[in-house]
Chain A
Amino acid sequence: MQPATLESLQRQLTHLRQTFGKMELAMDSVTQAIVWTNNQGQIEWCNGRFDALIGQLHLYILGKKLTEILPLFLNGTAVEDSKHPLNLVVKEGQRVNEIYKFETKEGDWLSLEISGRPFTPNTFGTSAVFTLTDVTEKRKMEARLLNSQKLESVGSLAAGIAHELNTPIQYVADNLRFLAEEVKGYHDFIERFYQTFSEETTCPTEQALMEFKEVGKSIDFEFLREEVPRAIEQSLEGAAQVARIVSSVKAFSHPGSTEMAFSNMNAAVENAVNVSRNEWKYAANLELNLDKSIPEVKCNLGEMNQVFLNLIVNAAHAVDDANKATGSTEKGKIIVSTKVEGDEFVYSVQDSGTGIPENIRKRLFDPFFTTKPPGRGTGQGLHIAHEVVVSNHSGSIDFETELGKGTTFIVRLPIKGVKSPSNN
């Protein structure tokens, strides 16, 4: 084989220079920030977007440690060096894809989706390439969408919740009316008692005693002895039922913290079941299988409330559709379960509904995709559930379905709020 001539090597070099030049131009034109490091984590190259993000000309960033130039925050706390995406890639050889918070020089907080991968170009060890996408606006949009869907669901649940409140209030009112009526009898009796045995009367007349007895006879004491305590007990139960519903609505609408915090998932699931009762109770019997041993799970409870609710309401609609399609007068079934598997919290909603046709399964989590008639859903429920679980909580949402038999949606969340390395 002939050795390469100097002329051909020069041609190659010129060509490579042009290729590099075009690459740098192209990479400077993209909206994502791109940076790569050597095996020591020192920045070897970055594009103009990265310069803008950091607020320094790249000439002064080159050679510096990425961990120093790009301090990150996750769930409100500073990411320590060993957990910085740089070290996860360079030292652990992992691929990363996570949303972090970053404070700019101007003091603005950005949400950066950082995707990194290792590569080993030579024997000097593993280097890393990162792309950083500013998803601040996207996250704000999602938060607005989530809020509008929350308002939408609260609006559409309002009639059902009012109905749920009406039933206990009605029997509280009935009982109070009954008590008011009967108290009148007691009042007459007591009044007659005082008239008959007043302090001035040393000995009541025969006539006064007869009249006192007549008033006593007009009151059915046997009946009252049983019914008054029962009416009071029922009224107290009704009031407690109202308090439970109001408490669920309150907990659902105002979950307290809007940040990631360790939360009681079973209580949240019960609240979602309570506020949606009117949606499912005519179509299905709902079975709650809550694993009482579940630890508190790190999540944004307001967002997760929406996920719990959306899946229950969807199940109720699917069962209702199946009942209507088969003309069945019997109720269908919804099983809402929670459990722990490894280091994950698992929430599932199983329904005996229509099942999901094959041709729409892939589009199920798309925004605005719905098969429901107007007024019953805007196609945001599953999309938002997917965004909340997958993007905001590093979890997963899947479903198993069979036409005519039903569907089970399964949500998995890392209990500690972050994926363990084995799940990456």
Chain B
Amino acid sequence: MSFTLDDLRKEETKPVVIVDAQGIITYINQAFIDVYGWTKEEALGQALTIIIPDELHDAHHMGFSRFITTGEPKIMHTPLSLKARNKAGEVFDAEHYILGEKVDGEWVIAASVTPL
């Protein structure tokens, strides 16, 4: 089943995070706050890398940049088990569902990141 940006904006049970084309967090839902520990004030305006373990930052930057540059998704619209990190610095497996949509000509990337 394929989700849309709107679906993830309406999602209430799974933690959702949305970033702009620079990878800056523009939206998190209550489930995200509950699971990951950051408040809206703390998370909004931060780089998405706060929820990514250090050793995955390079791959994230390269892959994210590639998508923004080409618009060709490699890992989107399919559930993936990847590592995630919470505010306390704990690293755990989480099911990632990532999608990208253009809003007013700019890419918006959204993901649900549910701990496994």
Residues of A within 8 A of B (CB): 10, 13-14, 16-25, 36, 38, 40, 42-45, 58-59, 62-63
Contact = CB atoms under 8 A, between A and B. Distances in A.
Nearest to B64: A17
B102 interface: no
A59 B78 CA distance: 13
A165 B56 CA distance: 70
A45 B62 contact: yes
Contacts of B22: 10, 13-14, 17
Contacts of B59: 44-45, 58-59, 62
Given A17-B69, A21-B62, A44-B56, 7 more contacts: A17-B21, A17-B22, A17-B68, A20-B66, A38-B55, A45-B59, A62-B56
B2 interface: no
Contacts, number: 63
Contacts of A25: 66, 69-70
7 contacts: A17-B68, A18-B65, A20-B65, A21-B66, A21-B69, A25-B70, A45-B62
B53 A63 contact: yes
B42 interface: no
B21 A42 contact: no
Interface in B49-66: 53-59, 61-66
Contacts of B58: 36, 44-45
Contacts of B62: 20-21, 23-24, 45
A13 B61 CA distance: 11
Nearest to A127: B58
Given A25-B70, A45-B58, A59-B75, A17 B53 contact: no
B83 interface: yes
Interface of B: 21-23, 53-59, 61-70, 75, 80, 82-83
A206 B30 CA distance: 142
Contacts of A18: 65, 68-69
The 3 A-B residue pairs with the shortest CB-CB distance in the complex, in nearest-first order: A21-B69, A20-B65, A21-B65
A63 B55 contact: yes
Nearest to A36: B58
Nearest to B57: A44
A63 B65 contact: no
A36 B59 CA distance: 10
